[in-house]
Structure 1
Amino acid sequence: MKCILILGDGMADEPLAQIGGKTPLEYAKTPHMDQMAQEGACGLLQTIPSGFEAGSDIANMSILGYAPAQYYTGRGPLEALSMGTDLAPTDVAYRCNIVTVKDEIMVDFSAGHISSEEGAALFASLAPELPGVVVKAGVSYRNLLVVPNGSAADATAPHDIVGQPIAGYIPRNGDAAILRSCMAKSREVFDGHPVNVARVKAGKPPATQIWPWSGGRKPAFPLFSQKYNRTGGMISAVDLLNGIARCAGMEVISVPGATGYFDTDYMAKARYALDAIKRLDFVYVHIEAPDEAGHLGSIEEKVRAIENVDKVVGAIREGFDGIVAVLPDHPTPIRIKTHSRDPVPFMVTGKGTDTCTRLTEKEARKGMFGTKEATAFLSFLFS
C-alpha cells in the first residue's frame, strides 16, 4: 500500500508553565491529527542513536532507514549534494551559516533569518576573498563551504550556542585554521556591506560573519528503491533533507512557495504530495517551521506552526486513502532552544487502532506500538 509520511520538524517539546503545563502539541488546536489518532494508533520513536548528537541530519537519516553509524559523514556533504555541488572524494563540505555575533556572543544563528537574496549578495562579495575554498549561497542563512583535500574540523552548530560566548566553540582540529581564516575574512567583508547597511537601517540584525560546521566527505547510500523495492519522493524546502533524498536516489519534489520558515506555503506542500503519490509509492513531507520556532524560543510561533502542520494532515487525509504517518524528527524544546534526544511521538493509520486520542508526547507513551528504533520505521510502515 502507498504511504505518505508528514514530518513536523522539532514539534515535540516539554510541558511549559506559560501554557498551563502543556506541551505545544497538547496546547495546539489539531482537529485533523486528533481524528487521525482516534482512527489509528500511536507509539514512540527513538530517532537519535546512542553516540550521536541530536540533529535533523541524524534523525531524518534514521527515519528513512539509513543507520548513521554506517552512512553518516556530516551534514555539509548532504547539503552540498542538494545544492548541485559534486564533491571529489577528498573534498570536505561544511554547512555554513550566516550569523550575528555581537561582543563575541552568538546572538542569532540565522542573522535574523536573512533572505536568500541578501545571503547571495554577501557570498558574492566574500567568494573572491577566499582563494582555495569554495563557498556557495543557499537558502536564507543555510549556505555551503567546501575545502578541497580537507580534513573535517570539530565545529559546533551555531543554533546550539545562542546567547553564549563563541570563544569555546571556534572550529578545532582538521581544517580549523582554514575555517578560522575564512570566518575572520567574512567579518571584514560583511562589515559595512550594503546588505548590512540596509538591514541595520531597517531595524534588522546585521549578518556579521559566516559559521562553518558539520563537515564531512561525500557519503554513499544504498538506493531507496533497492532498499525497499519502492519508489520514493521528498518534499522539503531544506537542503539537508533534499541532500539525503538525492543520496538515496529519491525524487526531490520542488514546491513553489516552500521557504523552510513560518511563511512557507503549507497547502502547496499538501497538493504536491497528493500529486506525487499518484506516481510514487512513498512521499516524505518535511515541514521545518516548528523547529525554527523552537530555536527562537517562541511558544506562539511553535503552536501556530503545529496548527499549520495539522492543516496539511487534514488536506492529505482528505485526498489520500493509503497509510499516513505523522511525527517529529526530534524535540526542539522552547526551554533550551535547541534539539534534544528524547523519543518522539508518532501516529499511523492503517496499522491498527488503540486508545490514543491525540498525537502528544504523553498519549504516545500508552500507544500500542511501544517504543521503536527509527531505522526500522519505514520497514514497519511498508510491512
Structure 2
Amino acid sequence: MLVSDFHYDLPEDLIAQRPPAMRGASRMLTLDRNTGAFADHTFAELPSLLQPGDLLVMNDSRVIPARLFATRAGLATQHNSPAPSGHIEVLLTQRLSSAEGHNDWSALVRPAKKIQPGETLLFAPDGSNVPLLRATVLSSGDFGERTLRFEPAEDFHAALERIGHLPLPPYIHRSKQEPNTPEDRERYQTVYSQQLTRAEAKGSAAAPTAGLHFTPEILSQLKERGIELATLALHVGLGTFQPVRVERTEDIRLHAEHYTLSAATAEAVNRARSERRRIVAVGTTSTRTLEHIAREAEASGNPIAAHSGSTSLFLSPGAEFKLVSGLLTNFHLPQSTLLMLVSAFAGREPVLAAYAHAVESRYRFFSYGDCMLIT
C-alpha cells in the first residue's frame, strides 16, 4: 500500500494545544470494527461501554524531561584551545545498553551538522554556567541522530528533572522561553505512570497519550464494573519523532523500543486468553507490545511469560491481531504509522470514515485531543 493512502485533511484549529480543563473530560468516538458503525460518547462513559471481564492493558512508562539545552565545550585543537561554543537542543530518545556502567543514550540533536563525534556537550540549569551533566558524542546517524555518553552522575534522573523539559510534540506550540507550562508537567503524564528513582531506570520520550484521559475515579469505576486492569511498559523512543520518509508501507522500518512485561500481567493475559475474554489495549504502544509478545510466544511454543525485550513491530492493514480485541486510542497524524496500526485493526475505510466524522464534529486531535474506542 501507499503511505498516501492514509492521508486525511485536518484543519489546524482542531489540533489540541492544551489538555481539557479537567482530566477525563474528553470526547470519545466509538467504532464497531465489525459493522463500521460509529457513535459519539464521552470518555467518562468508558466503564459502561466495556464489558465485565474485559482485561484493560495500559502502558505505565513515565515520560522523562528529555528535551535539554546544551553548550558546546568544543574539541581541543592541537594548541588545546576550545572551539567556539553554541547552544544546542538535544532530545533524548532512548537509553541504550549500559555496558561497563556507561550511561549511553540515542538522541536527536539540532543543529546537527555542528555536532560530530568527539564533541563534548555541557548541560547546566538556566542562568548557570555550572553543568550538572556532561556528555560526549560517540557516533552520528541520519536526520540528526547522535549517540551520547554521559559522565557518571550521582542521580541522573534528578538532574534531568532539574534541567530538562517534557518533550511535547512539535504541533503543540510553546514559546522558546517556556517549552513547558506547569500544566504540561502534570497533564503530559498518565496518572498511573511508574516513578523513576534509580539512575538505571528507563523512561519515555513521549507520552502514551491514550492513557492521558484516565483519572483515579475512572480507574476505580472500571474495577467496580469487573474490568481487570494490568500494566506493561513500552518506553517510547525515536520512532515517535521520525516522519515516514518512504512511499510504500512495505518499506517502513520502525526503530526498536524497549519494553518490560511483569509476571502479573503475563498471567493476566494468559488467563484472559484461555477464558476467551476480551483484551483491550490502551494505546498503540500497548497494542504493539502485546502483539509482539504474542508472536514471540507463538514462535517458541511457550506461554507468555514475564520478560524484557525490544520490539520494532510494524502493524499495517493485512496484519493478524493475535491478542488485542479492543483498542482505546487518540486520533493520529495523517500518513503516520500509528494511523496505519489503527487501520490494520479496524480497516482503512472504516477508520478514515470515522476520522472524517470526527473532523466534521470538531473533535480535538492528537496528544492533548479526544479519543476513540474500537471494539
Q: Do Structure 1 and Structure 2 share a fold, with TM-score over 0.5?
A: no
- TM-score tier by shorter-chain length is 0.3 to 0.5
TM value normalised by structure 2: 0.33
Higher relative contact order (CA 8 A, sep 6+): 1
Larger Rg: 2
Structure number having the greater helix percentage: 1
